[in-house]
Amino acid sequence: MTDAPALETVGLGKRWRSARGDVDAVVDVTLTVPRGAFVVVTGPSGGGKTTLLSLLVALERPTSGRVRVDGADLAAASEAERSRVRRRVGFAFQGAPQVRRLPVWENVTLALVPTGVGAAARRARALEVLGRVGLAALVDERPERLSGGELQRVALARALVTAPPVLVADEPTSNLDRASAAAVLGVLREEHARGTTVLVATHDLALLALATATYAMEAGRLRATGASPDGAAR
C-alpha cells in the first residue's frame, strides 16, 4: 500500500460530442479522496456525476486532466493497466446492468472468473455478499425476475465481491423502498468502518449523514459543500 490518496483528479475534463454540438460533462475537476474517506457527491440529474464516476473507475478516458487511483495514473495507463485498476475498485452501476441469462450468483461473481476462482468458491462468496445486501434467497434467480430495487442491490453485491479497497456507487439507493435503502446504507457504513474508501453519487440526503466530505456537482463543475477533513475540491 502506498501513501497516495485512494482517488485523485487534477483538472479533469470530459467532453461529449453529439449532434447538438459538444457537451462538457465534466469541467476542470480537481478532487482528492484520501484512504478511508466517505465522499458523497450530490447534484441535479445531468450534472455530470455519473461521467465523473466513470472517469474515476477507468470506464472512460478523460478529454483533459489526470486521474490517479491508488497512485496509478489512468491517463497514461494501457488498457491492461486500466483493467487491473477496475479490479481494485468496486463500482455499483446506476441501472445495475446484468447478463440476462446468468443466475444472480454468477452475475455477482463475474469479476472473480479471470482470477481462476472455481465455481463452488464463487457461489459461496456470492451467498456471502448477497446476504449482506439481504438477497441471499435470490442467489440462483435470473436477473430478469428481479425488481429494480433488487437489481440495484445485486449491483452493490457485485461491487463488493472482490473486497475492493475503494467502493464507488452511483445512486445506490435509487429505486429502493425505505427498508432496502436502509440495508444498503448499513452495508456502506460497514464497508467504511472496515476502512474501505467510499465514494457515492446520490440524490439521497440520508447518505450525507455518513459522509466525511460532501460535494455538489452541477453543469460538470464540482464544489465542496461539507466537511472535508483530508480532501478538498477546488
Judged by CB, which is closer to another protein: 42, or 98?
98
Least distance between another protein and beta carbon 79 (Å): 6
Which 53-82 residues touch another protein, going by CB under 8 A? 54, 57, 59-61, 79-80
For another protein, which residue of 10, 23, 72, 102 counts as binding (CB under 8 A)? 102
From the list 89-97, 136-144, 208-216, 224-232, the region that binds another protein by CB under 8 A is 89-97
Residue 123 corresponds to which cell in the numbers above?
A: 457461489
Short-list 140, 111, 101, CA closest to 123: 140
For residue 163, state whether it binds another protein (rule: CB under 8 A). Answer: no
Q: Is the dihedral of CA 211, 174, 170, 19 positive or negative?
A: negative
Judged by CB, which is closer to another protein: 113, or 219?
113
Q: Are the C-beta atoms of 85 and 78 separated by less than 8 Å? A: no
For residue 139, state whether it binds another protein (rule: CB under 8 A). Answer: no
CA 63 to CA 35: how far, in whole Å? 26
From the list 68-76, 106-114, 134-142, 200-208, the region that binds another protein by CB under 8 A is 106-114
Q: Are the C-beta atoms of 13 and 194 separated by less than 8 Å? A: no
Which positions from 171 to 210 touch another protein by CB under 8 A, shown as an x/- string? ----------------------------------------
From the list 63-71, 114-122, 127-135, 195-203, the region that binds another protein by CB under 8 A is 114-122
For another protein, which residue of 114, 144, 178, 227 counts as binding (CB under 8 A)? 114
H-helix or E-strand spanning residue 119: helix 119-132
For another protein, which residue of 38, 91, 105, 215 counts as binding (CB under 8 A)? 91
Partners of 33 in the β-ladder: 7
Residue 191, CB half-sphere, CA atoms under 13 Å: how many? 34
Cβ contacts of residue 205 below 8 Å, gap of 6+? 42
CA 114 to CA 132: how far, in whole Å? 24
For another protein, which residue of 100, 144, 145, 179 counts as binding (CB under 8 A)? 100
Least distance between another protein and beta carbon 64 (Å): 16
Sequence-distant contacts of 126-132: CB under 8 A, at least 24 apart: 126/157, 126/161, 129/157, 129/158, 129/160, 129/161, 130/104, 130/105, 130/154, 130/157, 132/157, 132/160, 132/187, 132/190
Binding site for another protein (CB under 8 A): 51, 54, 57, 59-61, 79-80, 83-84, 86-87, 91, 93, 95, 97-102, 110-111, 113-119, 158, 162
